[in-house]
Structure 1
Amino acid sequence: MTDKINGHDLIAAGFTPGPQFPQMIDLANQLIGDGHSREGAFAEIREQIGPEPEPIALRTNNLPFGDFLGNFIDRTNGFETTNYRKVVEHMDALMRVPVIRAGAIMPDACVAGTAMGTIPVGGVVAAENAILPDMHSSDVCCSMAVTIFKRNDDPKKVLDTAQAITHFGPGKRAKSFVRQHKDLGQLLSTFGDNSFLSGLEGKAEEHFMTQGDGNHFLFLGHLESTGQMAMVTHHGSRGLGAQLFKRGRQFAQRSLRNSRIPKHQAWIVADTAEGQAYWDALQKVRLWTKMNHFAIHNAIARKIGNAVDTQFWNEHNFVFQRADGLFYHGKGATPSFKGFSPDDTGLTLIPMNMASPILIASHADNINALGFAPHGAGRNMSRTQFLKNYDPEPPEGIDYRFYSGVPDYSELPEAYKDQRSVIRGIKHAKLANVVDRIMPYGSIMGGEFRWGRP
C-alpha cells in the first residue's frame, strides 16, 4: 500500500506551502486511492490549480538584523575586523531565507562555517512555522549548569573528586552504571514513540555523565557576593543530540530537495506531524541534557559530603518558541527573556574563559537582540589559525587540568576574545543584567585526545 501524501511531499514536488495545502493533500490522496501514481496525482493537481509554481527560493533582498558586535571590536586588530566582516556576510546571506523573520548577532559572535549563510556562533534567528536544524547545530542544547554548595570545602579536594567522577573524550559509561538513574530510564522509555529518537536509547545511555571535548568544561570557584563554593559544567547532549541533529537535518533537506534553498538552510515545517515530532524530540533531548549536568553535580556533592544550596541551568544552543509564535534559534546565544524554558529561574550563566569569572545574569529582553545575550567570549579565528599565529602561555594562579593529560592550547584564555569588550557589549546594550560572578579557582577541560586534529 502506498504511503499517504503529506505536506512535505508536496513541497518536495515543487509546490509552495499555503492555505490550499490541505485541499491539495486530500485531492492527491483521493487520486492515489483511485489508482493514480504519485506523479500522476501531482500532474492532476497542477492541471487543476494552474501553472506549476516556482520552486521555493531565497529572498532577493536580505532583512536587517540586530548588530551587537560591530561597536565592540578593536579596529586595529586584523583578525578581529576580518571575523566581524565575515560574520556580517554570513548573516546577510542567512537573512534571505524566506521563513526567517528577524535576526541578531551578539558581542561574542564568530564565524562557524565556510558555506555562505551559515549561522555564526553568537547568532540568533526567528523563523515562522519552521525549525532549521543547522541553526541550533549538532551540539543540541549545549548548556550551562551551576550548583552552589552550602558549605565551603578544600577546592583542590573538590576538583580531584570531580576529575574522578566526570568524563571527557572517547569511551562510554557502562549501561549497568547508567541504569541506576531511574528518571533517565523513564525518559528513554518514551523514545520509541518518536521517529527522530527511536533507536537512540543506547547512545543516550552510553554518553550519560560524560561531557565531550572542545570548549566543554567543569569549573570550580566561589560566588563574589557570598563566598559560597560554586561548581559549573558546560556541555551539550553528546552523541544523542548529534544523532537527532543528523536525522532532523536529513529530513529537512529531503523535504526541500526540489527547492533553491541551500542544504544548510533547510527547515522542517513546524505545524506538520514531522515538525511536531522534531519539536518533541528537542524537548526530550533537553531533559536528557539537564539530567546529565545534575547527575554529575549530585554525584560529586555526595562524594564530598556537601549539601546543595541552589541549582539552576540554561541552554545556549537551542530553539525556543515565544508568545508571537515564532521559533527563536540561538546558536551559542543565551536566552535573556522571561519564561524561555519551563524551569526558567530568571537567571542565566555566561562564561568567558578558564581563568575569568563566570557571569550570573538576570533577564533584560532587549527586543532588537530578540531577547538574547552572548554565551561566552567567542573567538576571532579558528583553533588551527590560532595555534599557527600564537604561542599561548598557560594562565597563572589557576588550577587548570586537561582530562586526557595532554593540553589543548586552543582552549587557553588567549584563544578567546577580550572578555572586557564582550562584557561592555552586554552592559552597553542591556542584553542582560550581571547580578553576580563566580570567581575562578580552577577547571577541567577535555584536552587533546590525539584524534588527528587540534
Structure 2
Amino acid sequence: MGSKLSGKDLIKIGFPQNNIMNVALGLITRYRRGEKKENILLEAKKVLEAPEKFREDAVWAKLAEGLIQPVEARKQQLNKQMVPFTIFGENEIDEQAKRQLYEALKLPIAYKGALMPDAHMGYGLPIGGVLATDNAVIPYGVGVDIGCRMSLSIFDLPASYFKGREFQLRNILKENTQFGMYDTHREKQDHAIFSRSEFKDIPLLKSLLDKAYRQLGTSGGGNHFVEFGVVELHQVRSGWGITPGSYLAVLSHSGSRGLGANIAKQYTNLAAKQCPLPRSVQHLAWLDLDTQEGQEYWLAMNLAGDYARACHEDIHRRLAKALGERPVLTIENHHNFAWREMVDGKECIVHRKGATPAGQGVLGIIPGSMTAPGFIVEGRGNPLSIQSASHGAGRIMSRAACKSSLTKSAMLKELEQHGVELIGGALDEAPHAYKDIHRVMGLQNELVNVLGTFSPKIVRMDK
C-alpha cells in the first residue's frame, strides 16, 4: 500500500464512484494530512458503514451528510450573456486577456467586471482583471501569491543622500534582504501574526506555521524586488509630516510566500471538485461563502494577506535599522486579493488579480520597471473600474520571449544608461518586457490622481 491515499483506496473499501469520494478526499486532505493511510481508511470505512453516527463529528460530518443524502456536483454552465464591464486602454491589451475576462463575465456568480490598462493573460482571471461576484470567492481569481503587495517607506533624507553612499546602500540591501524559495534570514523575528487563531483552527495553516515563521521578511522570485530610490512628492496630505520635495525611499514588492501558495493550491483543488466548470474556464471554479470550505478559504486568504504585510514590515524594519533612520511615511497596498465591497448598491466579493484598490482617497503604489518610475496615487473611486487601477506597467513580452530575444549585456547597458544598479535579477525582468508606464498612467487619469513618483536607483531581486 502506497503512502498517499487516493480515490482508488476509497473505492476498494466500498465508496461509490461519485462526488462523495471528492468530499472524502477533501476532508482527509484538510484534517488527516500526514496520518497513516491505514488508520484513515479504517475510520472512513466506519463512516461509510454507519454515517448516521457521524452527523455531529468534527471531521466527518459533511461526509456523513453526503452519504445519507447524496448530492452530485453538477457541472456548472456559463451564462450566454456577459455581465456589465469596462475595459480601460483596450487598444493596449492583447486579445487573450480580453477573452479571459469575457469568459469570467459569463459565470453564474459574476456581477460586474473591469480590465485595467496593464492587463495581460493569466490563469483564470487575466492579470489586471477585476471581477465582482455574488457571495462567492474564486481562489484563482485572487491568485497564487495571495496578498502580493507594494510597500513604500519614505525617509526624511534628501535625494542627495545617495551621493557617495552607493556602496553602503548596496551592502545594506545585500545583507538585509533574502529572495527565492530557500534563503531565509539567519536572525529570525517573531511577529503577532503567528499567534493568530487561524494557525490553530485550520489544519492546513497549522501545518504551514513553521514555514511561515522561517520565511518572514523574505521576498519571492520573479518580479519581486526591494529597491532604494528617490521619491518626488508633488502633493502631500495633512498629517504626513513631510513637505513636497525629493527624498530617499525604499520600495518593496512581494507577497505571502509559501503560505499563500499552499492555501491557493489546496482551495483551488477543492473548488474544482465542488464546482466543475467547462475546460476553458476550469481555473475560475469558486467556493460559496455560505459553505465551510468557502469560510475557511476566506479566513486563510485574509491571514495570508496580513502575513504578506508582516513580511514587508520586517523588510522595511531591517533596512531602516541598518540606515539608522525611521521612515516618516509608509504607503502600501495589496494587488492580489478579494474584498467585501459595495458595488452599485450590492455587497459583492471584489477580486483584484493584479489590480490596485482605488476607492475615493485610497492611497496606492503603481510601479513601473527597473528603469521607469513608479507612481504614488490616490484613488478617485470610479465605479466603472470597480474602484480599481492598474498594478504596474504590465508585460508586453512573456518570460520565454525575453530569454530568447534579449541578452543580459543589453539589459545591463540599459540599466547603466538610466543610472540604475541591479543586484541579482533575471533576464525575464528586463525593462523591455514591460509596457510604457507613462502611457498606462495616461489611460487611467479618471481612476487615480498622481501625488508623486518613485525612481529606482539600487534594485535587489532574486538571483
TM over 0.5: yes
Aligned to 1:138: 144
**Partner SS, residue 119 of structure 2:** strand
CA separation in 1, counterparts of 2:252 and 2:54?
58
Extract unaligned runs of 5+ from structure 1. Answer: 1-7, 14-30, 46-51, 74-82, 339-344, 448-454
**Ranges of 4+ aligned residues in structure 1 off by more than 6 Å:** 8-13, 34-40
1:158 aligned to 2:159? no
Q: How many residues align?
A: 387
TM-aligned CA distance change 1:103 to 1:196, over 3 Å: farther
What amino acid maps onto 1:58 in structure 2? L
TM-aligned CA distance change 1:421 to 1:385, over 3 Å: same
CA separation in 1, counterparts of 2:291 and 2:73?
21
Q: Is the 8 A contact 2:113 2:132 kept in 1?
A: yes
Aligned to 1:331: 353
TM-score, normalised relative to structure 1: 0.78
Q: Please point out which of 284, 287, 295 is paired with 1:265.
A: 284
Q: Is the 8 A contact 1:355 1:442 kept in 2?
A: no
Aligned to 1:305: 324
Following TM superposition, by how much is the alpha carbon of 1:263 offset from its aligned partner in structure 2, in angstroms? Answer: 2.9
What percentage of aligned pairs have identical amino acids? 29
Following TM superposition, by how much is the alpha carbon of 1:401 offset from its aligned partner in structure 2, in angstroms? Answer: 1.7
Following TM superposition, by how much is the alpha carbon of 1:419 offset from its aligned partner in structure 2, in angstroms? Answer: 1.6
Q: Please point out which of 211, 231, 235 is paired with 1:223.
A: 231
CA separation in 2, counterparts of 1:412 and 1:57?
41
1:162-217, Cα deviation, whole Å (9 max, x unpaired):
2210011242436x832x32424324x64021244221101101211111111111
Extract unaligned runs of 5+ from structure 2. Answer: 1-18, 25-49, 56-63, 234-244
Aligned to 2:121: 111
1:400 aligned to 2:427? no
Aligned to 2:195: 186
1:281 aligned to 2:300? yes
Aligned to 2:132: 126
Aligned to 1:452: none
Following TM superposition, by how much is the alpha carbon of 1:9 offset from its aligned partner in structure 2, in angstroms? Answer: 7.1
Q: Is the 8 A contact 1:360 1:437 kept in 2?
A: yes
Q: Is the 8 A contact 1:147 1:230 kept in 2?
A: yes
Aligned to 2:13: none
CA separation in 2, counterparts of 1:39 and 1:288?
35
What amino acid maps onto 2:82 in structure 1? N
CA separation in 2, counterparts of 1:11 and 1:59?
26
RMSD: 2.8
TM-score, normalised relative to structure 2: 0.77
CA separation in 1, counterparts of 2:214 and 2:66?
44
TM-aligned CA distance change 1:11 to 1:172, over 3 Å: closer
CA separation in 2, counterparts of 1:197 and 1:100?
29
1:115-135, Cα deviation, whole Å (9 max, x unpaired):
xxx311111111111010011
CA separation in 1, counterparts of 2:269 and 2:169?
43
CA separation in 2, counterparts of 1:9 and 1:260?
21
What amino acid maps onto 1:434 in structure 2? V
1:385 aligned to 2:395? no
Following TM superposition, by how much is the alpha carbon of 1:10 offset from its aligned partner in structure 2, in angstroms? Answer: 13
Task: Decide which moves more: 61-70 or 247-256.
Answer: 61-70
1:122-151, Cα deviation, whole Å (9 max, x unpaired):
111111110100111111111000111123
In the TM superposition, 1:332-371 aligns within 5 A as 332-338=354-360, 346-371=362-387
Following TM superposition, by how much is the alpha carbon of 1:62 offset from its aligned partner in structure 2, in angstroms? Answer: 2.7
Task: Decide which moves more: 287-296 or 436-445.
Answer: 436-445
Q: Is the 8 A contact 1:195 1:277 kept in 2?
A: no
Q: Is the 8 A contact 1:196 1:248 kept in 2?
A: no
Following TM superposition, by how much is the alpha carbon of 1:289 offset from its aligned partner in structure 2, in angstroms? Answer: 0.9
CA separation in 2, counterparts of 1:296 and 1:34?
51
